[in-house]
Structures are given as structure tokens and as C-alpha cells.
Structure 1
Amino acid sequence: MSHTAHIRSHRKPRRNASRIAMRAGVAGGVLSTLAVASASASASAAESETTQTMELPTLTADLAAQVAQSAEATQQAAADYELQAERDAAAAKAAKQAEANLAEAKKKAAEAKKKAEEAARKEAAERASRSAARPTLTATTSSAPAATHTSTATGSAAAVISFVKAQLGDAYVSGGTGPNSWDCSGLVQAAFRQVGVDLPRVSQSQSTAGTQVSLSSLQPGDILYWGSAGSAYHVAVYVGDGMFVGAQNPSSGVVEKPLSYDPPSGAVRVL
């Protein structure tokens, strides 16, 4: 027998192989689980980061669209405000112009009324003056021999009388020189122009244009005047038989009247 046969071995007893294998498997499983969990966490983090990264451009594009829409709305509001301001300014200008036009129209109407009133007063004064002179003239003409009033016109006088009678019924217009409206001196001037006599334009000058003749020796074609020579306010043409033709006033126009209707102050002869 060996001398070591009864000596107990100092080596540790070997563990059971199956238990070691099981523990190794458990450890491997734990590690695998940890690895999977870690990989899953990494994948989740990566996906989250990717999601955030992918969503960021979308949010930025939406924000840019909102900003652009807001800017467009602001620009439109500014344009609308500017347009309204222009309309308000135009309306104010139009109202101001209308007010100025109304004031001007009122002013012109007042001036026209004043002129009409002055013309009416002047005509009334002229009629009063004619009425005052009528008794003296009537006495003068009635005492004159009838033979001195030549009734038959010849030559240039006949042409003048024919012209003024052709205008009977035409309107009286202050400053009128024909062909369808006249004032007193405009008609006389046009009549004598037919026979080559160039008379002054106004009655004051026409009353001194020829030779003064008495009312008792009138001849057809003589120029009658009312007022004094050189300051006459009305003229007409004597047409014979105690009648005259003249542009009287706006209400009667060009008429033929007897001398007694409105006795003249004097007469001149240019033919």
C-alpha cells in the first residue's frame, strides 16, 4: 500500500458541470437582455432624434407660411388704408370744389340780378324822360307843316328803311349786332352799312354823326335819338309817315312805332 493512500487530497472538489453550464447560460441571457435593452434604448433615442429632426422642418415651414400670410395681410391692410385715405382726400377736395362752385354761382346770380335791376331802373328813367319831353315835341310836330315830313323814301334812304323793316320782330340783346338780335345802335349801324355809310357803334356818337335837323323837317332815313346830342341813350331810323323803326328793349325787340309812342329828342341826317 502506498504511503499516500490514506492522505486526503487538498484539491477543491470539482463543481458539477451542469450547474456551471446553467449559470453560464443565465449570465449569457442577462447579458443578452441587457444588450437588447441597450440596443432598443439606442434605437428609441435614435428614432426620437430622427423624429424630432424630421418634424423640425415641418414646423419651420408652417411657421414661415404663417409669417408670410401675416405679412401679406399687413400689406393688404396698409394698401386698403392708403386707398381709403386717398378716397377721403378726393371726397374732401370734391366737397370743397362744390362749395366754391356754389359760392361762385351765387355771386354770378347776384351780379346778374343787380344788372337786371339797374337796367330796369334805367329803362324806367328813360321812359319818364321821354314822357316829360312828349308834350313839347307834340306841340312842335303838330305846329309844323305836314309837307315838311317827306313820306316817300328814295335811293339810299329806301335801302336803309328796307333793311330795318326786314328786321322787325328780331330780339333785342344788349350789344347785339345781328343777324337775328340787335341793340338800338347795332341795328342803325348795320342799316347804314348797306349803303356804304360807316357809322360809329354807340348811340352817343351816332347822335352827332351827321347834320342836326329839326323834328319838324324829318325825312325818311334820318337818325332819331333820345337824350341830348353827344350823350344820347337810344337811336332809331325814321321811316316816314310819322313812324320809326328801332330795337326798343328786351320785351318788345325790333318794332315799328309812331313818333307819338316815344317822341325823340332830336335827329341827324347822314344821307
Structure 2
Amino acid sequence: MSHTAHIPSHRKPRRSASKLAVRAGVAGGVLSTLAMAGTASASPSAEPVAETTLEMPVLDLDLGTEVSTAVTTAAENTRLAAVEAAVEGELNALEESARTGAAAEAKKAKEDATKAAEAKAKQEADRKAAAERAGRSAERETLTNASASNGGSGSTAKGSGSSLGSGTVTAPATGSASAAINFARNQIGKAYVLGATGPSAYDCSGLVQAAYRQLGISLDRTSQDQSLAGRSVSLSNLQPGDILYWGAKGSAYHVAIYSGGGKFIGAQNPRTGIVERQMSYDMPTGAVRVL
């Protein structure tokens, strides 16, 4: 026996080959993994990083632009719709205002036209009245001058008969007042001519003289003398056929024939000619009766 046999050996016991192989494989795998990790850390690949960093912002930018464009378009459409609604409302208001204004203008124009027509009618009536007054004044002046040139006396009637004032009835009355009235009415529409005694034109006393001639009554020619013929009667007691006069008795400037019903027939003036009118149109001063 060796003298060193009792000393324990310090060498590790040998491992089996299979265990060593497994350990070597594991160690190799670990070292390979570490090597690959180290390589990745030390030399990073630019291509994957470039793909991640470049492509994602581009996608985000396009999406943001589309969203922004959509929002802008929607806002613009909303604004345009609001403007269109406002314009439509304003147009409707203008149309309504135009219709209202046109109706008001038409109403005012109608009122103005009515007032103008009424004013014109009044002016025409005033003008007619003034023309009639002027015509009568001219006739009165002419008759006054003629009377003055004759010494102021009435003309003598032809033939013999009873004297009634300065007018003289030279023949007995025949027929009725209707004959005189019908004659005068048949002359309506003929012209008034100062000094005319018919048959196409008359003045006021010429018409009265011609009408009473139908009854066989001869009257003096002038309105002054005719206002003195017969007997005076009140205007409230008139009978058809009475002679109406305007102006003072004996110096009347106009005469006509009472036709009944509050009307008279007379040769008024150059503008109207011979007409039949209500006495209220121009009330006479007095009346005389020769029948």
C-alpha cells in the first residue's frame, strides 16, 4: 500500500462525456444568443427603423389632412347654407314689402285720382255757373242798353188788347199752357244766340216769346218787358206755363218757362244752349202769369 493512499485526492471527479456535451451545447447556445444580442445593440439595423419612422408620420399626415379637409368642407357647407337661408329670407321680405308697397301705392293713387276727379268736377261746375252768370250779365247789359236807346219804355204790342203792365197781351189766350211747354221742350239742345228768335237758335226772351206765340199770345221782345207781363205770382204758387224771371221786376236779365215739377225750360247761355233744369239749380227772383 502506498504511503500516500490515505491522503484524499484534490482533483474533481470526472464528469461523464454526455454531461459535458450537454453543458457545452447549452453554453454555446447562451453564448450565441448573447453574441446576437450584442451585435444588435452594437450595430442596429437602419432599415427597420427607417420603415417605422418614415411610414407612420406619412400615414398620420394624410389622415389629418383628410379630416381637416372634411371639417373645412362641412363648415363651408354650413356657412353657405346659412347665407342661402339668409338671402332667401331677405328676398321673401323684399317681395312682401314690394307687394305691400305696391298695394299701398295703388290705394293712394286711387284716392288721389278720386280726389282729383272730384276737384275737377267741382271746378267744372264752378266754371259752368260762372259762365252762366257771365252770359246773363252780358244779356242784361245788352238789354239794358237797348232799353235805354228806346227811351226806357217797353215796345207797343201789335193790335189792340188789354194792357197788363208794359207788356201787352194782344190776343185772347187759346189752347193751353201745355202747347207752350211742348214747344219749348222741343227746342232743347238748340243753340243760344243773343238776339236770336228761332227757329235754329234763341236767346232767353226769344224762346219765351216764340213759345207763347203758339198760344196766340204776343209778348214783348225783351226779358225786362216780359217780367212785367200778366200778373205777379209767388214762387210757391206756380203753375205750368208761368214765366219765371231773374233780376228785379221790370229790369230782369233772364226769363224762362215753368214746366212743372219744380223745373223750368230756358235758353241759358252760349255754352249750355236750351235746357230743362230744376229750379234749385238757379232759383228765379219772381214769376208772372199771362194765361
Q: What TM-score does the superposition give when structure 1 sets the normalisation length?
A: 0.42
Structure index of larger Rg: 2
- Structure with the bigger RCO (C-alpha within 8 Å, sep 6+) is 1
Q: Which has the higher helix share?
A: 1
Q: What TM-score does the superposition give when structure 2 sets the normalisation length?
A: 0.40
